[in-house]
Amino acid sequence: MKRKVIEKLESIVGSDWVVVEEDQMQDYLIDETPEPVRPKPNPDVVVVKPEGVQEISEILKLANQESVPVVPRGGGTGLCGAAIPTKPSIILSLERLDDIIEIDRDNFTITCEAGVTLEKLLEELEETDDLFFPPHPGDEGAQVGGLVIENAGGARAVKYGVIRNFVKGLEIVLPTGEAMELGGKIIKNNTGLDLLDLVIGSEGILGIVTKVTFRLYPTPKERVSLVVPYGDRHSAVDTVPDMLREGLTPLSIEYMEEDLIERACEHLGEKWPVKTRGSAYLYIIVTGNDEEEAFSQCEKIGNICQEHGALDVVIADRRREQEKILNIRSNIYTALKPDSVDILDVTVPPAEIGKLMDEIEKIGEKYETYIPAYGHVADGNVHPHIMKEDGKTPPYMESMKEEIYSKTKELGGVITGEHGIGKTRIKNLPQAVGSKYIDLMKKIRKVFDPNNILNPGTVVEDD
């Protein structure tokens, strides 16, 4: 990085908040993208840690003057390489923007700076005892600005929706350095084109989010977990549409298979607490305003499960048991990661998820490999893992991935439901959307960022 750029950054934020030492930058060069498909980071970078909007604005203006790319950096929990600098860059870390500004109990909102972690947000709300932020994408080290620009999903989307459904207002700094407010605490807003919605899910190419206002809900008073084993996959997934048609909308409905549960248990040194074993499982979390409401839902759900051939319906109402089951489910990914080449994020209409998983299994048989898959069955989002072969990336990886994407598209689906395109999925984007779609995205990006300095090589290819 040019010395004059480093000196100007030091004059903006102070020398204590500019990092140039190689050993101190390593954690800023990668994210959680599996190593075999992770983009190679460019080591010619400088990490800068501004404390507010004014400093971010000045950094972006400097970047435009010097034609230096800027890569926004949150918690580094992404899975598609969006936060990895692939060119000589300024890495703009938002970690110092970590204040929770306001909890507005009357308007059911929380406003916080973009560097606040999901863990900190949830802990703050726990102290209120009656306000609830439903989304939980998984890693609580994620920062809220990252949740917004990735439009994060997670297990609870079936009842409450993804992050997009919770963002009421944003403060952003445009790539050209201007700051602006979008949205607010209002419920209705029909004032021109919806730029707020455009920024959500933009993966850091349209602006840097500095402040977020989220919608909150009243805290459910009761929470009960159900684990339902089945003898086969289709009996499990076919239960879900009937459940939803009856007006039963649990907090989450997760699909798991026996071998993945065993792998997660071995990884954690835990024992699966459900005695009745099956080849496929639904893991359902039910909430209610009181014990009677929650258990009434459980009874109705249990009856529907049994009508679809459930081998058992196990109710976990003690908190410790609930947390144990949730921890095992959450660590399927962690258990698979060391042997994974890539983790996909395909999504189909919910009623098609059984067909999609059958097709994934057939593709695995064609290539004589195992493709473990699990996911959020009620919203059609499944995560197939492409696994290493003899410890290496298999030569058929790209072909197999393209076939999975092709079958997903045939079933009316998309290649990513919550992880995004980032830098690793750009080559697959033409398979998912038409050339006109990509062209419009490039033009929109150009309007926001005429010099292409913000997170180049992400979402769409550079011209």
Q: What is the CATH number of domain 100-218?
A: 3.30.465.10
Residue type at 112 in one-letter notation? C
The per-residue pLDDT for 71 is 98
Tell me the H-state helices in 93-189: 118-126, 144-150, 157-160
Residue 358: which pLDDT band, with cuts at 50, 70 and 90? very high
The per-residue pLDDT for 139 is 87
The per-residue pLDDT for 154 is 87
Q: Quick one: DSSP state of residue 14?
A: -
Strands 167-173 and 208-215: antiparallel
Q: Please give the average per-residue pLDDT across 336-342, as a whole number.
A: 95
Residue 319: which pLDDT band, with cuts at 50, 70 and 90? confident
Residue 229 has pLDDT above 90, yes or no: yes
Residue 155: which pLDDT band, with cuts at 50, 70 and 90? confident
Mean pLDDT of the chain: 95
The per-residue pLDDT for 129 is 84
**DSSP run (H or E) holding 263:** helix 258-268
Q: What is the CATH number of domain 3-96?
A: 3.30.43.10
Residue 213 has pLDDT above 90, yes or no: yes
For CATH 3.30.465.10, list the domain ranges present in the chain.
100-218
Residue range 378-435, pLDDT digits in tens: 999 999 999 999 999 999 999 999 999 999 999 999 999 999 999 999 999 999 999 9
Residue that the structure tokens 């790319």 belong to: 69
Residue 58 has pLDDT above 90, yes or no: yes
For CATH 3.30.43.10, list the domain ranges present in the chain.
3-96
The per-residue pLDDT for 1 is 80
Residue type at 383 in one-letter notation? H
Fold of 335-420: Alpha-Beta Plaits (3.30.70)
Q: What proportions of the chain, in percent to the nearest 5, are helix, strand and coil?
A: 40, 20, 40
Burial per residue of 109-144, b for 16 or more beta-carbon CB atoms within 10 angstroms, e otherwise: bbbbbbbbbbebbeebbeeeeebbbbbbbbbeebbb
Burial per residue of 291-311, b for 16 or more beta-carbon CB atoms within 10 angstroms, e otherwise: eeebbebbeebbebbeebebb
For CATH 3.30.70.2190, list the domain ranges present in the chain.
222-330
Q: What is the CATH number of domain 222-330?
A: 3.30.70.2190
Residue range 77-117, pLDDT digits in tens: 999 999 999 999 999 999 999 999 999 999 999 999 999 99
Q: Please give the average per-residue pLDDT across 374-380, as a whole number.
A: 93
The per-residue pLDDT for 463 is 80
User: What predicted TM-score, i.e. pTM, was given to this entire model?
Assistant: 0.94
- CA atoms of 67 and 82, how far apart (whole Å): 20
- CA atoms of 217 and 215, how far apart (whole Å): 7
* Residue 41, CA distances (Å) to 38, 88, 181, 210 in order: 9, 9, 32, 25
Residue range 259-295, pLDDT digits in tens: 999 999 999 999 999 999 999 999 999 999 999 999 9
